[in-house]
Structure 1
Amino acid sequence: MSLVTVEDLSVSYGANTVLRHVHMIIEPGEIVTIVGPNGSGKTSLLRAIIGATKPAKGRITRKQGLRIGYVPQKLHIDPTLPISVERFMRLTNRVSRARCAEALEEAGVPDLLKRQMTQLSGGQFQRVLLARALINHPDILLLDEATQGLDQPGSAAFYRQIETVRRETGCAILMISHELHVVMSASDRVICLNGHVCCEGSPAVVASAPEYRALFGTGTGGALALYRHDHDHHHDHDHSSQDAAE
């Protein structure tokens, strides 16, 4: 059964309609990325799926008992507030220390449990947010431009970790990204949004769609070439890492 089904969804804020007639299905275990210009309704779609925004029209059906993990765009913590990573992760979750440690390991940062949140680098902070989203074994993970503010290598490493999370936990991933090269290397399916669904499909199909090119210009051919290079490189890298490990 599908995890989430969106049917004829429209979202409005007062007189301003930000999304019209959106149809979308998320299947178990797939990585789906939403791309689109600023103001295209990407975050509104995520908020509607979570249940934080009420649709003006249409409906969203979630699989019964669906567990959702959410990684926000950013989170501000008062620098004068002494709070450890473990305490932060247990603020709204009644979980054991062992599960906190396990979730940090899934997020690729197994040694941060005792560190202070204020001492973390940007990349470590985002990994802790990812671990917190994973703590209750979600069926689907939602990420709202979770790498904003990270440099390109940090961003690429974060998305590689997302692919590892999907491989190891089997959870589906729905993410918003403005980084087209990352989208092309990490997604099973891309949805191009601009108030409505302009086009969707595999990265290769979407990158060659006229609607996508109209929004993102001629650089998309380069993004697709990079997708192929990255994809091949990741496979090579995975094999070489495996060889090194053995």
Structure 2
Amino acid sequence: MTLIQAQGMCVHYGGRRVLFDIDFSINRGEIVTIVGPNGSGKTTMLRALLGVVAPSRGTVSRKAGLQVGYVPQQLHIDPGLPLPVRRFLSLPKRRSAADMAAVLDRVGVPDVAGQNMSTLSGGQFQRVLLARALLMTPDILMLDEPTAGLDQPGVASFYRLIDDVRRDMGCAVLSVSHDLHVVMSASDRVVCINGHICCEGTPNVVRAAPEYRALFGMGTGGALALFQHQHDHDHDHHDNPHHDQKKDASHAG
């Protein structure tokens, strides 16, 4: 079942074109990750699909009654604000103690309900954000750089949790990420963008690329290295991409 579909989607900010000619869909149960260099429009794409940003051209359609659980990249909470986790989870809709206890246990932080949000570790904080999203009983989880600021074990642990949630709930997962080593093992499909969709396919397509292998040995920039692996086309003066057909065939995912 298709949950969200974009056709010819374009987004402009202040007269500047950020995204153009985006054709994209995601189905129930899929884990899809959006990657690309800084400034490529990844977060804008996520927000346009979410409905927060209106496309300047094209269409975005969503399944009727679609329930979305959203985990932002950052959420600043004033350290002086007395906001216990249980109160945070009840915003804006009051939740039962049993439901909150169940979801906190589900995300691996069962003992933080009475703790103040500002005292949580980075990993705990992200799991509480995920818990709040799961209380929506979502058809799709949308994650914007959900592991920013976490150390390597924390990143791997979080994505294992996401995979478990997808399997148990049957929801789709659409995320923006720079954690390419995890993307390779945690995604069904990877979408590389730089204003438009440059390439997409299964992780196996990307894993075989020399640029991806060099990512670990050379310490090159994560999102850019993946973006480059199949950027096998240039643009004419209308910004239309021209693909190398042989490369496209060999990289079909």
Cα deviation for residue 116 of structure 1 reads 1.5
Q: Percent identity?
A: 58
- Aligned-residue offset at 1:117: 1.1
Measure, in 2, the Cα distance between the counterparts of 1:220 and 1:79: 37
Q: Distance in 2 between matches of 1:220 and 1:41?
A: 25
Q: Any idea what SS the aligned residue of 1:10 has?
A: strand
Residues 82-109 of structure 1 show CA distances to partners (whole Å, capped at 9, x for unaligned) of 1110001102123212111122122221
In the alignment, what sits opposite 2:224?
none
| Alignment-mate amino acid for residue 174 of structure 1 | L
In the aligned structure 2, how far is the partner of 1:122 from the partner of 1:46?
23
Alignment partners' CA distance in 2, 1:4 and 1:149: 29
- Give, in angstroms, the shift of residue 221 of structure 1: 9.1
Map 1:1-246 → 2, pairs under 5 A = 1-208=1-208, 213=211, 218-219=214-215
Could you say what secondary structure the match of 1:3 adopts? Answer: strand
Q: TM-score, normalised by structure 2?
A: 0.82
Specify the code of the residue in structure 2 equivalent to 1:73: Q
SS at match of 1:73: coil
For structure 1, list consecutive stretches of 5 or more residues without a partner in the other structure. 224-246
The answer to which structure has the higher helix fraction is 1
> Which range is displaced more, 102-111 or 187-196?
102-111
Q: Tell me: CA distance 1:13–1:173, structure 2 relative to 1, closer, same or farther (3 Å).
A: same
Structure 1 residues 68 and 43: alpha-carbon distance in aligned structure 2, compared to 1, 3 A threshold = same
For the 8 Å contact 1:208–1:221, the answer to whether it is kept is: no
- TM-score computed with the length of structure 1 as normaliser: 0.84
For 1:160 and 1:128, how far apart are their aligned partners in 2? 16
- Per the TM alignment, residue 208 of structure 1 is displaced from its structure 2 partner at its CA by 4.4
CA contact (8 A) 1:142 1:175 kept: yes
Amino acid at match of 2:35: V
Deviations 1:92-138 (A, max 9, x none): 12321211112212222122111111221110000000001111100
Distance 1:160 1:104 in 2: 16
Contact map agreement 1:84 1:117 (CA 8 A) in 2? yes
Q: Structure 1 residues 12 and 217, CA, compared in 2 at 3 Å: closer, same or farther? A: farther
**Shift, 1:217, TM fit:** 8.8
Match of residue 229 from structure 1: none
SS of 1:112's equivalent in the other structure is coil
CA distance in 2 between partners of 1:186 and 1:222 (Å): 22
Distance 1:20 1:167 in 2: 33
1:27-49: CA deviation from partner (whole Å, max 9, x where unpaired) = 00110001100000100011111
Aligned residue for 2:2, secondary structure, equals coil
1: distance between equivalents of 2:32 and 2:106?
20
Instruction: State the 1:169 CA deviation.
Output: 1.2
Report what 1:235 is aligned to.
none
Alignment RMSD (CA, Å): 1.9
**Between Structure 1 and Structure 2, how many residues are aligned?**
219
CA drift at 1:206:
3.3
1:59-83 alpha-carbon deviations (Å, 9 max, x no partner): 1110000000000001111111111
Q: Which amino acid aligns with 2:215?
A: G
Shift, 1:14, TM fit? 1.6
